[in-house]
Structures are given as C-alpha cells and as structure tokens.
Amino acid sequence: MAFETIIVDVEDDIATITLNRPDALNALNSTLLGELCTALEEADANDKVRCIIITGSEKAFAAGADISEMADKSFVDMYTSRFFQNETDRFARIRKPIIAAVSGYALGGGCELAMMCDFIIAADTAKFGQPEINLGVIAGMGGTQRLTRFVGKSKAMDMHLTGRFMNAEEAERSGLVSRVVPAKKLMAEARSAADKIAEKSQIAAMAAKDAVDRAFETTLTEGLNYERRLFQAMFATDDQSEGMTAFTEKREAQFRDK
C-alpha cells in the first residue's frame, strides 16, 4: 500500500517504518497515525517480518502531535471523536516486537509514541520532552502514566511541569531508553538489535513482550502468575525442545516458530 506520511521498508526479517513529514518535524496527525497503524498491522500479519523498527529523521523522531490539527478543536470535538484513541488502541494490539530508533526531538506525542514501542534506542542527539504544558494542555497519549513508570515521579513531574527536555544521556541514566549510540550508528544498532530478536523463537519473543507488558498493568503476584503460565506454555512448543537440545548439543538453535 502506498503511504503519504511514512515510508515502509521490509528487508529480510525486519520492517522499518520511517515517519516522513519533514516539513513538520514528523508531527503526528491523524493521517500519519492511521498509516502507521496500518503499516504495523501489515507487518504483524506478514510471516516474513519478525521485528519492527519505527524511526524518524536525523532532526526529529516526532516533535509531538500536530498542533495545527488540534488548535481549533473543542472539548466536544475531542471527546466525541475519540481523537487518536483508535490509533493508540490499534498500536497496543501489535504482537511483534517494536523498537523505537530515536534521533533528535521526541516531544509530546513523539515521546509518547516512542514509549509505546517495546524499547527505545537513542542517538546521542536525542531530546525527549513532554512540553504540552507550554501549550496550555497536558500529555494525552500516555505521557503522564508511561513516563512516570519509566523514570519515577520526581523526574516525570519535572518534565511535565517545566516542559524541559531530557538529553539522551539523562534518558539512559533514568531508564527511559535502553541504549545510546552515536547518531551515525543509530540505524545500524537498531537493525542489529532487530536481527538478534529475529533469530529467536517468535513464540518466545511474543510471550516475553506480553509478560513484560503485564508488569505495567497488574500487581506483582498477578504478574508472576501470568509469567509462570506463559513460561509453562513454552513447554508445549517445538522451539523449547529445539532451544534446549541445541544448547546441550553445543550448536545454534534452529527455531521454527512451532
């Protein structure tokens, strides 16, 4: 399918989705978010794809939700249209691992989009922020909830109340991103992480994603029960048998997603 605001490239086992509204620093509008969800659903349904990377440009992953699309809206417009809600629900249903490769600005909805991915690899040029307060609003795509879980209350409050940006080093130190690399190496690093994931059993990768996500949703006891059930279920797969046999035979496992 031809897209207007994103570029999709499927190579080997990896789908790379590049946000592509350079004139607006990849600001997220309804078209972009709709296209992004369609591309994610296609990648999720494509047997050839085992991991997905979402990235932006060197200057901006995404500088937020598109302010020009929101500026004239009323409470009633926002409430009745479920603005961006369908898209965030669709995003949450993707089962394959998604890596955010962030260079430059990841602000407002851009920071929230990165946090909706499974983990974030940042270029040393990355800047994260929730500056919605400067516009007289607050975050609306999960920023108050997810950022707080990632970096703790004090830093999340600081970010949301002052609107200041966090650089890549601070973001890594605070647990918002998993790794920081020189900007030139960002895509190679994301690709290498995606290749590593693609080598694994897809069933185990999906189960790991499912179980880690559960940690955000439930109590420790419920989460541990959930993990235990998924762990036990792995023993119904050929991939478990292959993985453990390959280890004892001192060879690489050949997973078949069965």
Note the residues at the interface with ligand CO8 (CB under 6 A). Answer: 24-25, 27, 63-68, 83-84, 105, 107-109, 131-132, 135, 139-141
In the bound state with ligand CO8, the residue whose beta carbon lies nearer, of 97 and 140, is 140
In the bound state with ligand CO8, the residue whose beta carbon lies nearer, of 56 and 108, is 108
CB of 91 to ligand CO8, least distance (A): 12
CB of 240 to ligand CO8, least distance (A): 41
In the bound state with ligand CO8, the residue whose beta carbon lies nearer, of 127 and 200, is 127
Whole-number Å distance between alpha carbons of 242 and 26: 43
In the bound state with ligand CO8, the residue whose beta carbon lies nearer, of 56 and 131, is 131
Beta-carbon count within 10 A of 149 CB: 14
Whole-number Å distance between alpha carbons of 111 and 147: 9
Beta-carbon count within 10 A of 249 CB: 9
Q: Who's near 245: CB < 8 A, 6+ residues apart?
A: none
Length of the chain: 258
CB of 210 to ligand CO8, least distance (A): 25
CB of 32 to ligand CO8, least distance (A): 11
Shortest CA distance to 96 belongs to which of 161, 17, 29, 7? Answer: 17
List active site positions: 65, 109, 112, 132
